[in-house]
């Protein structure tokens, strides 16, 4: 009876667990310094964040959101960056080949909070919305850093022109 119960529980539990990870979200380790000081603020600190797949299921992101996406430069790598501008917005760039960019339809502009130490849209330009996989909603580890991650733009990096006032 014990082995049958274990097998039945496993056969039910695995699909439910996989569905949860695929639909709702998962916890991921944040590596690197590109999102400092918001994430990984110290030299030794390593934050773990909850990545909500549910919140981006319709590819809706807002200015200020911290999102996980497939790297446009390396499809095997996931990156975590802040959304600075949405389609139709115009941004001033930092190191991109054009000083100003109007974000095309179906794209958005992302940057790391640690400007100058981030591979982001200033390197590869506007990013297709289809590359977004999840939105970082909170820091879950270490316990001393538990917090909700607010969707806010750094004052110095706001779009020059916003197509609407959606979440700024």
Contact 164, 85 (CB under 8 A): no
CB atoms within 10 A of CB 152: 14
What is the length of the chain? 168
State the Cα–Cα distance between residues 55 and 46, nearest whole angstrom: 24
* Burial of 114: CB neighbours in 10 Å, binned 0-12, 13-18, 19+: middle
Quick: pLDDT tens for 37-95. 888 887 667 899 999 988 887 778 999 999 999 999 999 999 999 999 999 999 999 98
The pLDDT of residue 154 is 83
Split at pLDDT 50, 70, 90, the class of 17 is low
| Catalytic positions, written as ranges | 34, 81
Instruction: Report, as an integer, the average pLDDT of 103-113.
Output: 95
Copy the structure tokens of residue 131. 């590359």
Q: pTM of the entire structure? A: 0.84
DSSP string, the chain: -HHHHHHHHHHHHHHHHHHHHHHTEEEEE--SSTTTTTSS-SSS---EEEEESGGGTT----TT-EEEEE-SS-TT-EEEEEEEEETT-EEE-SSSSSSEEEPPTTEEEEE-SSTTS--SHHHH-SEEGGGEEEEEEEEEESGGG-EE------GGG--SB-SS-S--
Could you tell me what percent of the chain has a pLDDT over 70?
91
Q: Round to whole Å and give the CA distance between 120 and 34.
A: 9
pLDDT band at 168; cut points 50, 70, 90: very low
Torsion sign, CA atoms 79, 84, 89, 90: negative
Question: What is the model's pLDDT at position 1?
Answer: 61
* 98 pLDDT more than 60: yes
User: For residue 163, what pLDDT is reported?
Assistant: 78
Give CA–CA dist 103/160, Å, rounded: 12
């Amino acid at each position: 009876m014990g082995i049958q119960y274990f097998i039945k529980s496993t056969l039910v539990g695995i699909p439910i667990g996989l569905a949860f990870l695929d639909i709702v979200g998962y916890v991921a380790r944040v590596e690197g310094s590109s999102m400092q000081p918001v994430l990984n603020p110290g030299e030794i600190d390593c934050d773990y964040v909850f990545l909500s797949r549910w919140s981006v299921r319709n590819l809706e992101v807002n200015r200020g959101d911290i999102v996980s996406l497939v790297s446009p430069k390396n499809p095997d790598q996931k990156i975590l960056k802040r959304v600075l501008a949405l389609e139709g917005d115009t941004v001033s760039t930092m190191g991109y080949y054009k000083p100003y960019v109007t974000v095309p339809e179906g794209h958005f502009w992302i940057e790391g909070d640690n400007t100058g130490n981030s591979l982001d849209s200033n390197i590869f330009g506007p990013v297709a919305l289809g590359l977004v996989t999840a939105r970082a909603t909170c820091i879950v580890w270490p316990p001393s850093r538990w917090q909700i991650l607010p969707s806010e733009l750094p004052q110095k990096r706001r779009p020059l022109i916003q197509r609407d006032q959606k979440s700024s």
